[in-house]
Amino acid sequence: MSATGRERARERHWICARRLRERRRQLGLTQVDLVRRLDRRGARTTNRVLSEMENGRGLDLGWLPELAIALECTVTYLVGLTADPTRWEPDPRPSWVLGPDVPDVNQL
C-alpha cells in the first residue's frame, strides 16, 4: 500500500473511531450502556475495549454491524461515507475524497 493509501486508511480508521464516540454521546449513552446493548446482541465486550475502539486502538471491522445496530445507525455512517446516521447509500462526493480505490457513486 502506498503512503497515500496508508494515509487514507488511517484517516478512515480515525473517522470511524470518532463516529463511534460521537454517536454514543448523541444517544446519551455511557460506554457501559453501549456495552450492555452489545451484550444483548451476543457481542460480548467491555467498556475498556470500547474505550480503546473509540480512541482508535483495537478497532475491529468485524464489529461494525453490531456497533451500528447498537448505536442505531448504519455502517456507512460509521465509516464516514455519509453524514446521515440513517442513510445506507454513500453521500455523493467527488472521487478524490474517497480515493482512487473507492468508486465514485456518481459515475456508476
Whole-structure pTM value? 0.79
Grid cell, residue 14, equals 480515525
pLDDT classification of 58: cutoffs 50, 70, 90: confident
Digit-coded pLDDT (tens) for 26-52: 999 999 999 999 999 999 999 999 999
Q: Please answer whether residues 64 and 79 qualify as being in contact, where contact means their C-beta atoms are separated by less than 8 angstroms.
A: yes
